[in-house]
Amino acid sequence: MSGESSTESFEIGQRVHSLNDPRRVGTVKYVGGVEGYSGTWIGVDWDNDGDGKHDGTFNGVFYFNGRSQTSASFVRSEKLSRGITLIQALELRYQTTSTKDEEDEMYVLSAKNKRVSIQLLGGDKIQDKLSRLEELTSASLPFLGVSSLGVSSDLGSVLPNLKLLDLTGNLISDWEEIGALCEHLPALTTLNLSYNSMSSEVTSLPQLKNIRVLVLNNTGLSWTQQVEKLRPSLPALEELHLMGNMISSITSTSCSDDKAFNSLRLLNLEDNCISEWSEVLKLSKLPCLENLYLNKNKLSRIFNDNESPKKVSDPFPSLRCLLLGANNIGDLASIDALNVFPKLVDIRLSDNPITDLARDGVPRYVLVARLTKVQVLNGSEVRAREKKESEIRYVRMVMSKFNNKHEEIKLLHPRFNELKKLHGLDDEVASAENSRPKNIASGLISITLKCVGPSMGEKPPLTDKLPSSITVVKKLKSLCENLFKLRSIKLRLFLHEEGSPFPTPIDDETSRLLDAGIYDGCTLLVDEES
């Protein structure tokens, strides 16, 4: 596995790994002498910060530019490996039998702390099947130091049934060799090249007509330099994963005459640097795109100030799932803009300011109500009952907060009139206020209170009816103190909502119950301040 370790010279730009650790991978940046030391040294810029000791400047002398202060080091050639071939890695992974020492390490501890050896049931049969390379349908070769794919005309006969190949974390960089590999493995449909530093030169690629899934996470690719050049060679591609590549701009997919990416159903752009929604819109013409993953980018708005959803004709016609978690989205107009996409039903907005109540975000029910077609929100299913209750609560909250301010409601709450008509809700708050002395019971809501504080002891839940339009949260806390005899404990209330993985804190003591999102039939958790 260690590959060659002779003193033959290394080349600048060559990918190598530490002789005894194939997971410690880097790029040769310097070959020559080091002041104060004898012999030839190899300057390596390691992929992981902390694997080195300096930044390419050593004892005040500059040798090369390292990526960071602790990514570079000088190594003797015999301490580095140039890697092995694909066939060598396959033999090492699937045709090497375990040693006695390795088998001795397979044990569990008994109740008396004694070793009990483990024997794998059917292990010999499994090993025998895996050792026959011609029967392999999938091969996983992560971090084995593969530097050469050793493509030859007989590769197809060695691996005739191989459909999935995982080459994560190896020393591969040459696209031409990747193209030849795919040509010689006609059954190959899924290829994972994550954590390989792929070349910026994408040339001489044949038509890779059988590749359906291509994973290029953390490979240093840019969209304009590499992905755009790969497109014409991947006419049947259905999934493309590009996580962690610092992509900030995208080439418009509509300006190309070829039909590449027309079969693309899933595009994973998580953990990149996209900050402008205008870049995302360049993907809006992909006819089959159903899943778009944009978690951990830098998006702050779904549409920029100079754009309008109405200006985009048929955006993302097939999009069903859009993941926008851990961005910087904080405005409700961006939430409303998602309603433009005709088939969007699965949305992730967690870890954005808009979902963080501590940063002036809104509770789950507001998002459920404003999103017309949502069926899954933040990974939780939105059932019909939750959808209906959320929309009714939302309408009542708006009526309570914007009593008869029709123009303001129309501007800030575009679904209000639609929802009010859908659920047959007239201006309940106004009519209740006009008849409050005679009809206060009509404004009562039923609330179930549950004690969950660690020092409160076991107390049965209590259900009470309160006037929603006049009771404030501070008064509700006082009621809890009396009902549960908790006068010596400082309370904090949480709204427990169906479908939401976490309860919503209710911290504004001056707000009315309706404004705080408390509704008829809801459950409040009574906790204590930490």
> Using H for helix, E for strand and C for coil, what is the string for 132-172?
CHHHCCEEECCCCCEEECCCCCCHHHHCCCCCEEECCCCCC
* pLDDT for the residue numbered 204: 72
Rounded average pLDDT over 237-241: 97
Which segment of 10-19, 248-257, 391-400 scores lowest on mean pLDDT? 248-257
- Nearest-10 Cα torsion for 328, 331, 333, 335: 60
Phi, psi of 72 (to 5 degrees): -115, 150
- The last residue of a domain, from among 81, 106, 139: 81
Which segment of 140-149, 341-350, 421-430 scores lowest on mean pLDDT? 421-430
Q: For residue 44, with 0-12 CB atoms within 10 Å meaning exposed, 13-18 middle and 19 or more buried, which class applies?
A: buried
- The span from the CA of 117 to the CA of 115, in Å, is 6
- Contact between 342 and 289 (Cβ < 8 Å): no
User: Are 330 and 183 members of one domain?
Assistant: yes
- The span from the CA of 389 to the CA of 368, in Å, is 10
What is residue 127's three-state secondary structure?
helix
Range of the domain at 412: 389-423
User: Are 287 and 369 members of one domain?
Assistant: yes
430: in domain: no
- % helix, strand, coil for the chain, step of 5: 25, 20, 50
Ramachandran bin of 489, using left for φ above 0, alpha for ψ from -120 to 50, beta for the remaining angles: beta
User: Are 413 and 516 members of one domain?
Assistant: no
Residue 191, domain CATH: 3.80.10.10
Rounded average pLDDT over 70-96: 91
* pLDDT for the residue numbered 306: 52
* pLDDT for the residue numbered 121: 55
User: Are 494 and 399 members of one domain?
Assistant: no
Beta bridge partners of 323: 293, 348
* pLDDT for the residue numbered 202: 84
User: Both tokens of residue 382?
Assistant: 């939105």
- The model's pTM is 0.80
User: Are 281 and 172 members of one domain?
Assistant: yes
Instruction: Residue 138: count other Cβ atoms within 10 Å of its Cβ.
Output: 11
- Which of 152, 193, 188, 191 has the alpha carbon at shortest distance from 172? 193
Instruction: Tell which wins on pLDDT, 8 or 298.
Output: 298
- Contact between 169 and 143 (Cβ < 8 Å): yes
Element (H, E) at 475: helix 473-484
Residue appearing with tokens 């990514």: 71
Q: What percent of the chain has pLDDT over 70?
A: 83
Q: Which pLDDT band holds residue 106 (cuts at 50, 70, 90)?
A: low
Task: Work out how many domains the chain is built from and give that number.
Answer: 4
User: Both tokens of residue 117?
Assistant: 């050896």
Q: What is the 3-state secondary structure (H, E, C) of 333-393?
A: HHHHHHHHCCCCCEEECCCCHHHCHHHCCCCHHHHHHHCCCCCEECCEECCHHHHHHHHHH
User: Are 480 and 494 members of one domain?
Assistant: yes
Q: What is the DSSP secondary structure assignment for residue 226, as one 8-state letter?
A: I
Q: What is the largest CA-CA distance in the chain?
A: 99
101: in domain: no
- 438 has a pLDDT exceeding 50: no
Mean pLDDT estimate for the chain = 85
User: Both tokens of residue 363?
Assistant: 């509770």
37: in domain: yes
326: in domain: yes
Rounded average pLDDT over 275-290: 95
What is residue 468's three-state secondary structure?
coil
- The span from the CA of 326 to the CA of 269, in Å, is 13
- Specify the length of the chain in residues: 530
- Contact between 472 and 509 (Cβ < 8 Å): yes
- The span from the CA of 15 to the CA of 247, in Å, is 23
- The last residue of a domain, from among 81, 104, 133: 81
* Helix residue ranges per DSSP H, 405-472: 406-412, 416-422, 428-434, 436-439
User: Are 417 and 485 members of one domain?
Assistant: no
Beta bridge partners of 526: 451, 493
Q: Which pLDDT band holds residue 63 (cuts at 50, 70, 90)?
A: very high
CB proximity list for 437: less than 8 A, separation 6 or greater: none
Rounded average pLDDT over 83-109: 73
2: in domain: no
User: Are 395 and 502 members of one domain?
Assistant: no
User: Are 75 and 174 members of one domain?
Assistant: no
User: Are 261 and 238 members of one domain?
Assistant: yes
User: Are 398 and 264 members of one domain?
Assistant: no
- The span from the CA of 448 to the CA of 495, in Å, is 10
- The span from the CA of 174 to the CA of 263, in Å, is 26
Residue 31, domain CATH: 2.30.30.190
The strand ranges marked E within 370-482 are 376-377, 380-381, 444-451, 462-467
- Contact between 55 and 30 (Cβ < 8 Å): no
428: in domain: no
* pLDDT for the residue numbered 54: 96
Rounded average pLDDT over 10-20: 92
- The span from the CA of 55 to the CA of 73, in Å, is 8
- The span from the CA of 196 to the CA of 168, in Å, is 7
Rounded average pLDDT over 245-273: 85
For residue 37, give Cα distances in angstroms to 28, 30, 33, 41.
Answer: 19, 15, 7, 9
In this predicted model, what pLDDT tens digit does every residue of 445-502 receive, in sequence order?
889 999 988 888 888 999 988 886 656 788 888 888 888 888 788 888 888 877 666 7
- 81 has a pLDDT exceeding 80: yes
- Contact between 77 and 6 (Cβ < 8 Å): yes
User: Are 368 and 397 members of one domain?
Assistant: no
Instruction: Tell which wins on pLDDT, 377 or 528.
Output: 377
435: in domain: no
Burial 61-74 (b: 16+ CB within 10 A, else e): eebbebbeebbbbb
248: in domain: yes
